[in-house]
A and B are shown apart, each in its own frame.
Chain A
């Protein structure tokens, strides 16, 4: 499934909800279902410091594709993290670099990407892309 196809799948998934409460409950469920990052990777160098919610991100290149695991101490941020991992993980560095991620606006959660320093999500997306750039450039 391409990045755009996964984004479309998420958009349709969120269209089923009538109100914000169901949407957030789903996001919280997604957060709970995110496979936990290996504790050995929950280190200071993997920590993306937000002002409030902290996010850990780990990536690796396998057969030309980048795979991410991530975690957050805030459950709503973790739900957003789960969406990002679902969309980007398993794709080539080129595809990840070019991903527009405009599904976030379409599912009505764009405020989570506002530059308020309140969570580490914007920094995490930047780091996901930077990791992809590094894999592409250095063929790690």
Chain B
């Protein structure tokens, strides 16, 4: 506990924070839950659970349509959520914030819609070898449809993008660059500012997959000057089923609707439809209203703690975990970039990650095992997969120590 207090000097009151997350007090397999699968999804604070509950108990109505009080109230609340997200991202306009189902949906929207308008035969799309399948497959589909070519930025053994190679890939054939802000498998924080500047020098737009970044660090759309930024609500302590696509107005205005239907139009006749302005053009059908409101509640919550405090605290967790893991014989950390978020992937000589994860679960410890939806990256390292521990600001040094003890027992059992 002494150590917790020390860490809390940087602005995190860990005991108070943990009390905000009801799930953290549950037992798993008879043990206190140690949740280290935050890269897959994060847990939800009571403030988010209350926002969702309150919506259904008190506020439920459809948005943007009704003249009745409930509909008007919830429309205001939903649009306020959009404004909260705009402010959090420091985007120029609230209509640049598009509600989607999640990061995957945001990337599919962009790839499909941008692809239809701007990509032709022989054009090139640049991604990187560390991308999540969700930032590979939508671009592969565009390439197949349009006869375009996918170019891939390689990484070094530490798991850092080879920036010289990236710059060599950029050309007048490149139509868009799409890279992760933070690798979900390696934890590498990519130099996206430099990536964006290099692309913009050739007037090439850049999409950033920010799914793993927004829970850990502050992102600023105007400072980054990126063209598209995607993330999911559920990894940001918000609900599942909602996500965000930030897109610069100039691109979104040019792009055709991704899905069509209710809510996306100004006028419809059987001969022709005139589509609505941003953001509604990209929000067909009744959206996840409670999700949007819950996501804004999550952002309000983390802003009260402060992302700078969160980043500093998690960095300490990362260093402690890495230091302890490195002491274990036969264990190798995959991803040793200089700039890393609180994600650690590792393998153990002769052991299958699946077996390690299965035994750790018996100790009440939730980690992720496998290829983490980054199969090309696993191939790059010639491994079947890894065990991944990913930390959030509600995790503690004590939990890491428990995890290390359990991991040592697991290795003994399996060897």
Contacts and interface: CB of A to CB of B under 8 A. Distances in A.
Nearest to B353: A52
Nearest to B369: A52
Contacts of B358: 24, 76
A53 to B, nearest CB: 5
A101 to B, nearest CB: 20
B385 interface: yes
B359 interface: yes
Contacts of A53: 352, 354
B279 interface: no
Interface string A65-85: 000000001111100000000
B203 interface: no
B286 interface: no
Given A52-B369, A52-B370, A74 B413 contact: no
A123 to B, nearest CB: 14
- The interface size bin for chain B is 10 to 19
A95 B385 CA distance: 38
- Which size class do A's interface residues fall under? 10 to 19
Interface in B13-46: 29
Interface in B401-415: 413-414
Contacts of B355: 74-77
Interface of B: 29, 352-355, 358-359, 362, 369-371, 384-385, 413-414
19 contacts: A24-B362, A28-B413, A52-B352, A52-B369, A52-B370, A52-B371, A52-B384, A53-B352, A53-B354, A73-B352, A74-B354, A74-B355, A75-B352, A75-B355, A76-B358, A76-B359, A77-B354, A118-B354, A118-B369
Given A21-B413, A52-B353, A73 B362 contact: no
A20 interface: yes
A75 B371 CA distance: 18
Interface string A29-53: 0000000000000000000000111
B354 A21 contact: no
A28 B385 CA distance: 20
Nearest to A72: B352
Contacts of B370: 51-52, 118
A7 B358 CA distance: 23
Given A73-B384, A74-B352, A74-B354, A20 B29 contact: yes
8 nearest A-B pairs in the assembled complex, by CB-CB distance: A74-B352, A52-B370, A74-B354, A52-B354, A53-B354, A76-B355, A74-B355, A76-B358
